[in-house]
Amino acid sequence: MDPAERKQLAKRSLQEDGKFLAELPLVWLQPPSRFTSKLYFGDEMEEIRQLQQEGRGLIFIVPHQGNWEVGLSEVVKNIEMTVFYRPPRQRWLEEVMTIGRQATGSKTAPTDASGIKQLLGALKNGEGVAILPDQTPKKSSASAAVFSPFFGQPAYTMTLAAKFAAKTGAAVRSVYMERLPKGEGFRIHLHKVDEDIYDRDLAKSVRAINAAVEQSVNVCPEQYQWGYKRFTIQPKGTRSPYKVLKLRE
């Protein structure tokens, strides 16, 4: 991508970020039925119901793409769901998020040992869990994340979804919402993640996760949350791309 194209993408991305922020209060504070008439999907919900009947448990890879909050609210109508999330620093915001998500029928699990145990229990019960795979974990545990290519750049990627898949054999799907133009609503996309997700080699399984996220980003790149600095943590001896860009400016 040349500089002009990158600049144009950044502009469109900021516009989409603004729409997302404007939508959040409605998603969290209004009845979920408010969006039902503006959600469009093909056979995705039927596929979810069929997977649930198999009793394997489902892992939903939910990237920061489009409005993932709306997408989860629709999926929850079809399956018991526990959402793995990092509580925000602002306590008031955490309360609003929790109330909004619980109103849809989903449960929440914090990003700590108790939350991991809660997710594993849900999968063993044949329920669904939602994990945002492109959220950079704290660099506190060598096993919590590995570096894996994401659009050709090393990205410090959490291993949790990959480990859960290998341990439980749960079905794994990436799900994201595409915001349609002119306020027409949202399109739910559901994709099967590559079978490498079940490989015990974390390099392969985590790469399958990033490949699934890349697939979603390529559909509508301006709706990906590029403002989240995914590449801040880099392998030893590798300079942060954000610092490189700053030097070029």
* pLDDT number for residue 55: 81
* Residue appearing with tokens 């979920």: 32
* pLDDT number for residue 21: 85
Q: Are 82 and 102 in contact (CB under 8 A)?
A: no
CA distances from 48 to 93, 127, 159, 235, 243 (A): 30, 11, 23, 38, 42
Residue-wise pLDDT for 189-217, tens only, equals 889 999 999 999 999 999 999 999 999 99
Region at 55 (left for phi over 0; alpha for psi -120 to 50; beta for the rest) = left
* pLDDT number for residue 223: 95
* pLDDT number for residue 32: 63
Q: Name the β-bridge partners of 173.
A: 60, 192
Return the domain boundaries, the chain: 3-132+159-228
Q: How many Å apart are CA 231 and CA 15, to the nearest integer? A: 22
End-to-end CA distance of the chain: 17
Mean pLDDT split into 10-residue runs, the chain, 249 residues:
87 92 77 71 79 86 85 72 78 67 75 92 93 83 86 94 96 91 87 96 97 95 91 88 62
**Planar angle of CA 227, 228, 229, nearest 5 degrees:** 105
If DSSP codes are grouped into helix, strand and coil, which group holds residue 108?
strand
* pLDDT number for residue 122: 95
Q: How many Å apart are CA 40 and CA 44, to the nearest integer? A: 10
Q: Are 82 and 128 in contact (CB under 8 A)?
A: yes
* pLDDT number for residue 108: 84
